């Protein structure tokens, strides 16, 4: 099992899913709810997101083949998509868009917008296909990517449970600083995806 695959999968999924940025949104979505209901909503959202990302990690390549998209082309497109996500993080556009997606879903936001698109968004789905969907990917690496994904989802759930405390500790400034640092890292990773795709086409 390649250690580099584990590191790349964790860093990319952590940055794309952004558990730290999701925490205050979870607080806003579940405002006024008791701890038990918050916990149930967070668990349901994480389970649905994990199923969606597993489907894309296992069957993503088959879907691409069916509609005639090559893996190098998807790598380039996925890299561009991740780069746009990084720009959103750097310039705070993603937080504003996510906050806009929360309106009107106060009753049970577990499936929408929490599970999708806030946790299992287009960037996370593309990442699963890029990391685990190539036909020549060893099954050990595919398994490792999915285990890492489940680990990141578990971290999302843990931070949801501690969202109120973390928001008080970091404050708006601390969350903004962490988000921008993650955005820079994601930008570099997205460029690497594009370079890998171009190299495969060459």
Alpha carbon distance 186, 169 (integer Å): 25
Q: Which residue has the tokens 């997101």?
A: 49
pLDDT digit string, tens, across residues 52-75:
999 989 888 787 788 888 878 877
Q: How far is CA 144 from the centre of its chain?
A: 16
- The DSSP symbol for 3 reads H
pLDDT digit string, tens, across residues 162-202: 877 876 787 778 877 877 887 787 788 788 888 988 998 87
Closest CA to 152 of 12, 7, 13: 13
Residue with tokens 């806003």: 28
| pLDDT tens digit sequence for 75-105 | 788 788 878 877 877 886 655 555 555 554 4
Tokens of 39: 């916990």
Neighbours of 67 (CB within 10 A): 6
Distance CA 93, CA 1 (A): 37
Question: Regarding predicted confidence, which is higher, 39 or 107?
Answer: 39
Its pTM stands at 0.74
Residues 45, 110 contacting (CB under 8 angstroms): yes
């Amino acid at each position: 099992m390649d250690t580099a695959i584990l590191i790349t999968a964790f860093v990319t999924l952590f940055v794309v899913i952004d558990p730290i940025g999701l925490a205050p949104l979870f607080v806003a979505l579940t405002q006024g709810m008791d701890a038990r209901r918050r916990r149930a909503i967070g668990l349901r959202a994480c389970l649905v997101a994990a199923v969606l990302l597993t489907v894309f990690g296992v069957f993503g390549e088959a879907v691409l083949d069916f509609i005639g998209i090559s893996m190098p082309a998807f790598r380039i497109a996925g890299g561009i998509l991740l780069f746009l996500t990084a720009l959103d993080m750097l310039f705070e556009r993603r937080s504003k868009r996510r906050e806009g997606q929360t309106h009107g879903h106060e009753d049970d936001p577990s499936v929408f917008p929490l599970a999708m698109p806030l946790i299992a968004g287009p960037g996370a789905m593309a990442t699963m296909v890029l990391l685990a969907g190539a036909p020549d990917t060893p099954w050990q690496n595919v398994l490792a990517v999915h285990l890492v994904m489940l680990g990141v989802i578990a971290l999302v759930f843990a931070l949801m449970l501690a969202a109120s405390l973390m928001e008080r500790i970091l404050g708006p400034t601390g969350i903004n600083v962490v988000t921008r640092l993650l955005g820079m890292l994601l930008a570099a990773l997205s460029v690497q995806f594009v370079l890998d795709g171009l190299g495969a086409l060459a």
